[in-house]
Amino acid sequence: MGNQGNRMHGAGIKEVSLRRRLLNAIRGAMVVMLVAGLGAASSTIAAGAQTQPPLRIEGRQFLLRGKPFQILSGELEYARIPRADWRDRLRKVHALGLNTITVYVFWNLHEATPGTYDFSGQNDVAEFLREAQEEGLYVVLRPGPYVCAEWDLGGYPAWLLKSHEMLLRSSQPAYIEAARRWILRLGKELAPLQASRGGPILAVQVENEYGSFAVDEDRQRYLEQVRQMVVDAGFGESLLYTADGGEELSKGSIPGVFAAVDYGTGDGERSLALLRAFRPEAPVYVAEYWDGWFDHWGAEHQRTDAVKQEAEIRAVIERGDSINLYMVHGGTSFGWMNGANSDLHSYQPDVSSYDYDAPIDEAGRLRPKYFALRSMIAEVTHHAPPPVPEPEPMITLPEMRLTASRSLWSGLGKGTQSATPLSMEDLDQAYGYMVYRTRIPAVEGSEALLRLDALHSYARVYLDGELAGVIDRRLGQSTLMLMTRPGQRLELLVENSGRVNFTTQIRTERAGIPGEVWLNGKVLREWEIIPLPLEKRPTEGFAMQDCRGPCFYRGEFKVGTVGDTYLNTAQLGKGVVWVNGHLLGRFWDVGPMGSLFLPGAWLHAGSNEIIVLDLNGGMSAVIRGDDHPTYLAPKKERTEPKSEHEAKLTTMK
């Protein structure tokens, strides 16, 4: 079954690629083509639905246009790969021996403000799918509206949480209306790219692992509503499916929709047994096989067992079952887009790197596990993959000392006056930082306990501009002892370190300070709240001067031959980096990441600009470019320098 499907694949992809070129040339006219190879029949491309999706189920196998087909897929995301590198990564996926890619669509990227959509440039997901088709790959589409993906708020736009009554992932009319509007708009972009119309999309997921989210009387109704909006968006011409962990299959599936299973290394036997017991007469599709894992700030760097993975993937393919490698290439959660995990007792923000220990690393280089999997897939399927593209050399950059600086405090804009703290969403801010400012009232004695009802997710506390301490949600902190006097200016510089992307906690992930602030048991009132979304890098106000506290640093560096590199951030504290206007992501000396991937596609031959925001500040910022990533030993406790106030408190205790 699987081998025959693989042999058919090359001819089928050549056909659809030719179809696309002809369609572009004659502007949508009907084209009838003869499909070469293995008894394929002729078909007509028309702007309408077929009676059945091209990929359908017959007994325990998939049929693609009537012929047995085995889905051999790899997950990679357009948003985590610079657009200039899309085709390179797609070619490497095909050269691995896979015939399909699986792709999430991130709602928050495309509808950053309600009713305004962006499918241009890096967000041109339709072009990504067209390039996949041209490179010989089919597509399994995962439109959400929830995607998880270790992505901020699971892909939901932050503005949904401006309404404090909003219930994400529920049948609440306000939520369903917003989600339906999004899915219908996405359908205009991607429904024409279904295989029924000559495109690459074979299957479309309904929601995502809902069985792990909530089990209540609303479950079936909600999933059916999502299925209906997917159909109404035009995706009913593809095979629809749900995917859940083995124990959650019954909780996340709906009648009449194909069910797939997700699991990680070492859990295949149990998960597949649960799937077969749940849908014994259906084909097996491992919709996510976790061939790696992701990193949290302050935790160990994740490395996984490549030998065991190869054996488990081989077993699936040899049985003729279908599989998707999550991830085949992880890439980078550029900008502010990393998510966070959480349970009842912990908050675990993800690093910007989404390398995932995948077969194709963060920079697009091929790991030994890539070549081991490639040989195994070719052996099992008896299908020779395309040649592996030649790698482009990485480059290095000499150490740069950035001495032009500007204090973060010098660029603060006008604030909003409020009796109580407001969240970022309350003030139409999605990402970045926010300053909360008030005055210390009269208190008994000089030692005072500052307490926050909630913090999302990290705060530096200043008294009259001097750092008094840090409160870190990651460490379960919500209080800080202060040495105060009446009338002092109290400022909390709060970072959104990444919203939780999993469990029902997503419903309460408003960023900033979403509650009251207390001092010695009394609520603090009369706040000035200053947004710092940092949607663009600062370009003015830099000078050759010493800078203390949170500082921006600016510099230029020369590049002869452009190439990918890793900016080594090991000598920096905590912050973010822009290069030529591109926000690469976050750094933090708690580890495990000690570098940021800098794509060569974002560099220029000649002069390039770099801007660093380091909350630690100091005389200057020091950074260089390496041809490899750097990993730091994780630090569980905060490493920010103690202020004079903290030192006094430590002495007193």
Per-residue model confidence as pLDDT tens digits over 384-403: 999 999 999 999 999 999 99
Is residue 394 within 8 A of residue 561, CB to CB? The reply is: no
Give residue 45's pLDDT. 30
Cβ-proximal residues to 87 (8 Å cutoff; 6+ apart), any chain: 131, 135
Q: Of 547-551, 589-593, 605-609, 647-651, where does mean pLDDT reach its minimum?
A: 647-651
Model pLDDT for residues 126-185, shown as the tens digit of each residue: 999 999 999 999 999 999 999 999 999 999 999 999 999 999 999 999 999 999 999 999
Q: Residues 351, 372: one domain?
A: yes
- Give the total number of structural domains in the chain: 3
Does residue 568 register a pLDDT over 50? yes
pLDDT band (50, 70, 90) for residue 110: very high
Domain boundary pick from 520, 535, 550: 535
Residue written as tokens 């949480």?
A: 161
Dump the DSSP string for 448-476.
Answer: EEEEES--BSEEEEEETTEEEEEEEGGGT
Domain boundary pick from 480, 502, 535: 535
Residue range of the domain that includes 353? 2-381
* Neighbouring C-beta atoms of residue 609, cutoff 10 Å: 15
Give residue 307's pLDDT. 98
Give residue 640's pLDDT. 54
Q: What is the mean pLDDT of residues 456-474?
A: 97
Q: Residues 469, 549: one domain?
A: no
Residue 387 resides in a domain: no
Is residue 166 within 8 A of residue 160, CB to CB? The reply is: yes
More confident residue, 20 or 518: 518
Q: Residues 338, 247: one domain?
A: yes
Omega of the bond leading into 595 within 30 degrees of 0 (cis): no
Q: Residues 64, 187: one domain?
A: yes
pLDDT band (50, 70, 90) for residue 42: very low
Token pair listed for 404: 């032009």
Residue 369 DSSP SS3: helix
Residue 3, Cβ density class (10 Å: 0-12 exposed, 13-18 middle, ≥19 buried): middle
Does residue 93 register a pLDDT over 60? yes
Nearest in space to 503 (alpha carbons), one of 265, 340, 287: 340
Residue 633 resides in a domain: no
Task: Give Cα separations from 635 to 461, 532, 640 (angstroms).
Answer: 21, 27, 11
Does residue 643 register a pLDDT over 80? no
Q: Residues 352, 448: one domain?
A: no
Does residue 18 register a pLDDT over 70? no
Hey, which bits of 368-407 come out as E strands?
397-402, 404-407
Q: Residues 217, 230: one domain?
A: yes
Q: Residues 355, 486: one domain?
A: no
Is residue 559 within 8 A of residue 610, CB to CB? The reply is: no
Selected catalytic residue, list 209, 491, 495, 509: 209
Q: Which helix (H) or strand (E) segment is 11 a member of?
A: helix 2-26
Calpha distance 327→291 (Å, rounded) = 7
Give residue 344's pLDDT. 65
SS3 letters across 173-228: HHHHHHHHHHHHHHHHHHHHHEHHHCCCEEEEECCCCHHHCCCCCCHHHHHHHHHH
Model pLDDT for residues 234-292, shown as the tens digit of each residue: 999 999 999 999 999 999 999 999 999 999 999 999 999 999 999 999 999 999 999 99
Residue 634 resides in a domain: no
Q: Residues 26, 168: one domain?
A: yes
Q: What is the pTM of this model?
A: 0.90
Q: What is the mean pLDDT of residues 58-72?
A: 98
Give residue 546's pLDDT. 87
Residue 635 resides in a domain: no
Calpha distance 443→420 (Å, rounded) = 19
Does residue 343 register a pLDDT over 90? no
Give residue 215's pLDDT. 67
Token pair listed for 632: 């730091």
Dump the DSSP string for 243-301.
Answer: EEEGGGHHHH--TTSEEEEEEETT-HHHHHHHHHHHSTTS--EEEEEE-S---BTTSPP
Is residue 373 within 8 A of residue 310, CB to CB? The reply is: yes
Does residue 41 register a pLDDT over 70? no
Q: How far apart are the first and last CA of the chain?
A: 72
Calpha distance 82→443 (Å, rounded) = 54
Does residue 23 register a pLDDT over 70? no
String of b and e for 113-127 (b: at least 16 CB within 10 Å)? eeeebebeebbbbbb
CA 119 to chain centre: 17
Does residue 407 register a pLDDT over 90? yes
Q: Residues 431, 562: one domain?
A: no
Q: What is the mean pLDDT of residues 505-512?
A: 97
Does residue 362 register a pLDDT over 50? yes
Residue written as tokens 């960023």?
A: 511
- Domain of 448: which CATH number? 2.60.120.260
Residue 653 resides in a domain: no
Token pair listed for 527: 């706040």
Q: Residues 280, 180: one domain?
A: yes
C-alpha triplet 113, 115, 116: angle, nearest 5°: 60
Domain boundary pick from 535, 567, 597: 535
Give residue 445's pLDDT. 75
Q: Residues 142, 196: one domain?
A: yes
Task: Give Cα separations from 46 to 192, 194, 517 (angstroms).
Answer: 10, 11, 61
Selected catalytic residue, list 288, 312, 425, 495: 288
pLDDT band (50, 70, 90) for residue 217: confident
Residue 461 resides in a domain: yes
Q: Residues 530, 563: one domain?
A: no
Nearest in space to 363 (alpha carbons), one of 583, 151, 629, 79: 629
Does residue 3 register a pLDDT over 90? no
Calpha distance 589→240 (Å, rounded) = 44
Calpha distance 537→411 (Å, rounded) = 12
Check if 288 is active-site. Answer: yes
Calpha distance 182→176 (Å, rounded) = 10
Q: Of 204-218, 494-508, 514-528, where does mean pLDDT reach its minimum?
A: 204-218
Does residue 331 register a pLDDT over 70? yes
Q: Of 116-130, 443-457, 547-561, where does mean pLDDT reach its minimum?
A: 443-457
Is residue 626 within 8 A of residue 568, CB to CB? The reply is: yes
Residue 257 resides in a domain: yes
393 has which bridge partners? Answer: none
Residue 51 DSSP SS3: coil
Check if 495 is active-site. Answer: no
- Domain of 71: which CATH number? 3.20.20.80
Calpha distance 511→432 (Å, rounded) = 9
Calpha distance 509→485 (Å, rounded) = 34
Mean predicted lDDT score pLDDT of the chain: 90
Residue 389 resides in a domain: no
